[in-house]
Amino acid sequence: MTDVGRHPRIKLYTLSEVVDVTGYVGNFTAKILKKSRYVDEKACTACGDCAKVCPVVRPDAFNYGLSSRKAIYSPFPQAVPSAYVINASECLGHNPAVCAKCVEACSKGCIDFHMSDEEITETVGAIVVAAGMDVYDPTEMDEYGYTRFENVVTSLEFERLINAGGPTRGEVVRPADRMRPKSIGFIQCVGSRSARKGGAYCSNVCCMNTIKSTLALKEHYPDMDIKVFYMDIRAFGKGFEDLYTRSRRLGVQYLRGLPGTVEETPEGGFRVAVENAASGAVIFYDLDMLVLAVGMKPPESARKLQEMLGLQLTPDGFFLEAHPKLQPVDAATRGIFYAGCAESPKDIKDSVTQASAAAARAIRLMHKGEILTDPITSEVIADQCKSCGRCAEVCPYHAITVDVQKKTAAVVNTAACAGCGTCAAECPFDAIIMNHFTDTQILNQVDALLAEVPQEKILAFACNWCSYAGADYAGVSRLQYPPNVRLIRTMCSGRVDEKFIWEGFAKGAPVILVSGCHIGDCHYIDANHWTKKRIEKIHKKMAKRGIRPERLQLEWISAAEGIRFSDTMHRIEALRQTVTASEIADTINMLKPTY
């Protein structure tokens, strides 16, 4: 940690959050909001004179409220930067001079109440998302009585209790009466592996964390009675099984079955009812203290970062990698990498491993000092452009400039163009070519798809990042669905031109599906808003022409939603079967004059 603080090439912003990111791989611009510390980070020597005189006492969050601190405090002894910080909402303030005792106490004059929040802009080529995780709050699991009984603690509170640098200097005592417990019970999978409460996934670290804690306890208190209630012990990593065996050899009892109820005894201990998973018998255990092995949750910031950076999340809420086996640290967005628990629950070793991998991936990108852009960008045919400005209006990247007044042709900044193709789909004069996804290329696919027995086929457009990937995920999961659907890939659903739809119907398509990322998840900021508007417009035209609007479907399917993709295909096939031959023939006839 101290290496980070003094590294000449690391610029550290604490109390800071990334609030906006624009740009693309190689050249991102990040806006960072740095909240005020009210203490000069560089001048402060962490002598602590300020805290001594501070009259405000508050629970110490670092110790989960098991100890107290002042309104001006050091987060923890080894903090980096090792400077004190004022919690402004707790501080009594100095204006009017209510308190300001700390200012007087500080001989170096580090404290400045006039410090204000700063907004900083940084340009970077790559981004590593290491946003960490949140801890499951066991309040909702009332059967364990976390909020009712003081002597029921979480595994993290227990970590602070047994830590030599913690509030009790490593002496394990019950929070309620400061008595050393003679017996401790650990309850596993609190907030993990449950469809009902917490996450359905395994949080990965809690088994080993408990095993480690039992060993530490046995080292301090060899006679302590320790019981672990579990459903499975997952000790799969290198050296894990050895640790587990050691814990059992030292007399820790591992009991299969999770407690159904916890009742407090008059002595402040607990009577725990556990159904033996093997015999079905309910057995009662008396224990002085309980530790809940709480699971991990995705970080609170996940949703915000996901939207800001155009990333994807799994249904669990953790970040989705570009490929689960071959690109496990890459985001689907080029230049962004994942490290640590933000991607999935993992222990320190795995976090460090993934972080090194993410660094290596970022270095692989940066070491050449330049970057090859994807030539999948749009291009204006100047002769055909009527300078209406529609393309510039819909471009999510403001990559197109057009002077509507002077009637000069639109110009695409290819460096800023990300290649969604919305401009090409929206141009009323066909004056924009979307390279690699041209009208001709896509219409050729539509025609080939519908060349034979079109009435039996389902034409589906899928965006590369979400829906096409969702279809891949359905494949990887071997989800079976009707075989008559054929997908046409576009980079974004925003590329799906109105004329592709009419071509499909004119060539006898019974139903057409357009699919893309969920609103808010679009890989191209918000290009799929235009998809939605366009489909609504086509629906109206269909209704006017006497074509059943249901025959054109719009569905949002994310890269993690293989099941949703498969379900959608079943639904669309059912819809297809309702479309009659005469309906299709009428549509073909009606659309003939325009083609």
Residues 313-352 that bind other proteins (CB under 8 A): 323, 326, 337, 339-342, 347-348, 351-352
Asked if 171 interacts with other proteins (CB under 8 A), we say no
Q: In the bound complex, what is the minimum distance in angstroms from residue 376's beta carbon to other proteins?
A: 7
Q: Report how far residue 447's alpha carbon sits from residue 498's, in angstroms, rounded to the nearest whole number.
A: 15
Q: Report how far residue 190's alpha carbon sits from residue 31's, in angstroms, rounded to the nearest whole number.
A: 37
The two tokens of residue 548 are: 């059943």
Kindly tell me which of 270 and 319 has the beta carbon lying closer to other proteins: 319
**Choices 190-198, 232-240, 245-253, 575-583 (CB under 8 A): range interacting with other proteins:** 232-240
Asked if 69 interacts with other proteins (CB under 8 A), we say no
Asked if 116 interacts with other proteins (CB under 8 A), we say no
Asked if 81 interacts with other proteins (CB under 8 A), we say yes
Among 481, 498, 545, 579, binds other proteins (CB under 8 A): 481
Query: Half-sphere exposure of 198 toward its Cβ, with a 13 Å CA cutoff?
Result: 24
- Tell me which residue of 71, 2, 64 sits closest to 37, measured CA to CA: 71
Q: In the bound complex, what is the minimum distance in angstroms from residue 573's beta carbon to other proteins?
A: 12
Strands 458-463, 485-490: parallel, antiparallel or unpaired by DSSP?
parallel
Q: Report how far residue 326's alpha carbon sits from residue 332's, in angstroms, rounded to the nearest whole number.
A: 12
Measured over the CA atoms of residue 88, residue 90, residue 93 and residue 99, the dihedral's sign is negative
Q: Any residues with CB less than 8 A from the CB of 204 and at least 6 apart, and which?
A: 234, 296, 344, 345, 346, 347, 350
Asked if 166 interacts with other proteins (CB under 8 A), we say yes
The type of residue at 85 is: V
Asked if 564 interacts with other proteins (CB under 8 A), we say no
Backbone angles phi, psi at 249, to 5 degrees: -65, -30
Asked if 75 interacts with other proteins (CB under 8 A), we say yes
Q: What interhelical angle do 240-249 and 206-220 show, nearest 10?
A: 40
User: Which residue do the tokens 């640098």 mark?
Assistant: 165
Kindly tell me which of 261 and 373 has the beta carbon lying closer to other proteins: 373
Among 71, 102, 111, 131, binds other proteins (CB under 8 A): 131
Judge whether 543 and 549 are in contact, CB under 8 Å.
yes
Kindly tell me which of 122 and 263 has the beta carbon lying closer to other proteins: 122
Query: Half-sphere exposure of 336 toward its Cβ, with a 13 Å CA cutoff?
Result: 25
Among 398, 407, 436, 570, binds other proteins (CB under 8 A): 436
Q: 3-state DSSP call for residue 124?
A: strand
Among 276, 356, 408, 580, binds other proteins (CB under 8 A): 356
Asked if 488 interacts with other proteins (CB under 8 A), we say yes
Asked if 574 interacts with other proteins (CB under 8 A), we say no
Q: Report how far residue 421's alpha carbon sits from residue 434's, in angstroms, rounded to the nearest whole number.
A: 6
User: Which residue do the tokens 């607990």 mark?
Assistant: 270
Asked if 183 interacts with other proteins (CB under 8 A), we say no
Site for other proteins in 495-554 (CB under 8 A): none
Asked if 224 interacts with other proteins (CB under 8 A), we say no
Q: Any residues with CB less than 8 A from the CB of 422 and at least 6 apart, and which?
A: 394, 395, 396, 492, 494, 495, 524, 527, 530
Among 66, 88, 100, 130, binds other proteins (CB under 8 A): 130
Q: Report how far residue 58's alpha carbon sits from residue 55's, in angstroms, rounded to the nearest whole number.
A: 10
Q: Report how far residue 197's alpha carbon sits from residue 306's, in angstroms, rounded to the nearest whole number.
A: 24
Site for other proteins in 239-258 (CB under 8 A): 239-240, 243
Asked if 22 interacts with other proteins (CB under 8 A), we say no
Q: Report how far residue 306's alpha carbon sits from residue 520's, in angstroms, rounded to the nearest whole number.
A: 9
Among 10, 195, 278, 281, binds other proteins (CB under 8 A): 10
The two tokens of residue 592 are: 């003939």
Asked if 42 interacts with other proteins (CB under 8 A), we say no
Among 36, 105, 125, 567, binds other proteins (CB under 8 A): 125
**Choices 28-36, 145-153, 392-400, 545-553 (CB under 8 A): range interacting with other proteins:** 28-36
Asked if 1 interacts with other proteins (CB under 8 A), we say yes
The single-letter DSSP state of residue 180 is P
Kindly tell me which of 35 and 518 has the beta carbon lying closer to other proteins: 35
Site for other proteins in 86-115 (CB under 8 A): none
Among 43, 57, 283, 451, binds other proteins (CB under 8 A): 451
CB atoms within 10 A of CB 285: 17
Site for other proteins in 284-313 (CB under 8 A): 299, 301, 305
Among 119, 286, 447, 550, binds other proteins (CB under 8 A): 447
Q: In the bound complex, what is the minimum distance in angstroms from residue 582's beta carbon to other proteins?
A: 25
Among 92, 98, 283, 415, binds other proteins (CB under 8 A): 415
**Choices 131-139, 251-259, 311-319, 421-429 (CB under 8 A): range interacting with other proteins:** 131-139
